[in-house]
Chains A and B, each alone.
Chain A
C-alpha cells in the first residue's frame, strides 16, 4: 500500500511539474508596488504575454536589481535602455520580444525515489504591432517546445505552437476589445501554472482559447467578459465553448477584491467555476503583497451525467526584501469533492522570487505537498525547483 500511494503521489507531483510547468508571465503581486491592474504593463489587459514600453521600463528601473551598473547611471536611463535593442528606438509600431525560461527541479531530494530534470521550458518569440496611441494592437507569441508533444490531443506531436494571436482595440479611454487566441479571463491567474487555482480551473500552460474578450477599466474597478469558442487547434472534444467573466473593485488603497465566473463545455464534459479573490499591497512594506483566491470547481461528465463539485484555496505572500529580491510563500488547498470523504491536497511553496539583473528573473523554491484523507495517510512529497527567465 505504501508503495502504491507514495509513488502515485510523488509521480503526480513530478508530472505536474513536468507537463504543467510553471510559466511566470505576469505578476498580480505587483499591487505591492501600487500597480493595481495588468494593463499598466502588458498589452493584454489581463496580463501575460509581452510587456509594453511602460512595463519594460518599470521592470528595469524599479523591479530588477542593478548590480554591475554604476551608480552614476540613473534608473531613468535604465528605463530608456529597456527596449528590445538597448539604446535603439525602434519604430513606434514595432515591438518585438524574446523570452527564455529554463526549469530545473528535483522531486524528493535525498530519497531513493528522487527524480531530477532540467529542460528549456519556454523559448518564445513575441511581436506587438500597434499605432502610436495603441488604439489598435496586434500581438503574436510563438513558442518552441522543448520536445515534440501532442499538446492538441490529436495524436500528432508538434514542435511549436502559437500561444497568443490576437487583435486588441481600445474604444475610448476605458474599454478594450480583444479578438483571437489568448489566455482565459478568470481570477488572479497567479504566476504558477501548476497552482491549483490555475491547473484545476483550466488555466494551464496550453489552455488558451479563441474568443472575444471585452474589458471596461474604470479607475477604481474593472469588469471583463470573455466569450470562448475553444482552442481551434485542439481536438474537437477538448474545445471548451462558453464564457467567463471577472471583475475587481478597489476597496482601499492598493487593495482589490474580485470575483470570477466561468462556464464552458465540450461534447464530453461541462465545467463551472466560481471564485472570489483579493489582492492586497502592503503600503508600509512597499513591494510586498498578499493575495488569496478561493472558489469552487464543478466538473460534469456528460456520458454518465455525473457531477463533482470541489473547492480550491490559494494564499500567496510576496515579501519584498530589497530591490530585485523577494520572499515568496504560496499555500494551497484542493479538495476534488466537497465532502468529508474526499481527500484534501495541500501544497506549500516557499522560496525566493528574484530579479537579480536587468531582464532576468531567477526563482528558487521548495514545495512541500501533503495529502490528507479520512482512511489513509501518505508521506509528504517534496520538490526543489530553480527557474531562470531571461526576457529581452
Chain B
C-alpha cells in the first residue's frame, strides 16, 4: 500500500505545478494501441531436501496494449489490457541450494492496467498505474527434487507514469514502480491513437 500512497503523493505534489486554465471541462475519450517494453524483477524461493534459498528472477519482454482513457479538465483515468511475452532468468542465490538451470525461461503475461492521471499540460500526463499482472513462467528444473516458488501467477503493484503526447496520434509512456519490495517494474511504450 505504501507504494500506491507514495505515487499518489508524488502526483499531488506535481499537480501543484499545473496550469489550471489549460483544459476544457468536457469529458474527452481516447483509444490507443501500443507496443511496450517490459522489464521487471521478482523474488524467488527455491527448496530441496528441506533446505531453502532465496533469489530473484529478471524478466524482459515486449507486449501490446489496448487502452481506453478519459479526461475531464486536469484529471483523467483509463483502463488498458496488455499481452506480453519474453524471457526470464533466475539468480542471486546464496548457494545453499543448487539451481543449475536458471537460464532462459519463456514467459507469457496478461495484464490489466487501470490508471489515473493528472494532465500537467495538453501534452504531458503524470499518472499512477496499478498493474494487475497474470504471468506464467515455467521454472521446472531438470533437478526434479528442486522446487521453485514465486508468489503465484498473479501480481499487482504500483507505477508512476509519464506520458508525453507527441502529436494527436502518438504518445510515449514511461512507467516505473514496483510489485513489491525489491521487485521493480519498468514499462516503456509507444502508443497510437485510433
Contacts and interface: CB of A to CB of B under 8 A. Distances in A.
Interface in A293-330: 315, 317, 319, 321-322, 325, 327, 329
A320 to B, nearest CB: 8
Nearest to B93: A2
Contacts of B73: none
Interface in A114-150: none
B35 interface: no
A285 B123 contact: yes
Nearest to B100: A375
Interface string A268-308: 00000000000010111100101000000000000000000
Nearest to A252: B167
Main secondary structure of the interface of A (DSSP, over half): strand
B174 A282 contact: no
A52 interface: no
A89 interface: no
Contacts of B93: 1-2
Interface centre among B14, B89, B90, B122 (most CB of A within 10 A): B89
Given A329-B162, A372-B60, A5 B92 contact: yes
A2 B186 contact: no
B172 A375 contact: no
A315 B186 contact: no
Contacts of B89: 372-377
Interface stretch (B51-59, B128-136, B140-148): B51-59
A6 interface: yes
A389 to B, nearest CB: 22
Contacts of B59: 372
B91 A321 contact: no
Contact residue range for chain B?
35 or more
B122 A315 contact: no
Contacts of B95: 1-2
A13 to B, nearest CB: 15
Interface string A331-356: 10000000000001010101000000
B120 interface: yes
B142 to A, nearest CB: 14
Given A319-B162, A375-B89, A377-B55, A327 B186 contact: no
Interface in A352-388: 368, 370-380
Nearest to B124: A285
Nearest to B103: A375
B91 A1 contact: yes
B156 interface: no
B41 interface: yes
B32 interface: no
A331 B160 CA distance: 14
Given A284-B121, A346-B39, A379-B92, A317 B164 contact: yes
A379 B123 contact: no
Interface in B153-173: 160, 162, 164, 166, 172
Sorted from nearest, which 3 A-B pairs have the closest CB atoms?
A377-B91, A321-B17, A376-B91
Interface of B: 14, 17, 39, 41, 55-60, 87, 89-95, 102-104, 120-124, 126, 160, 162, 164, 166, 172, 174, 176, 182, 184, 186, 188
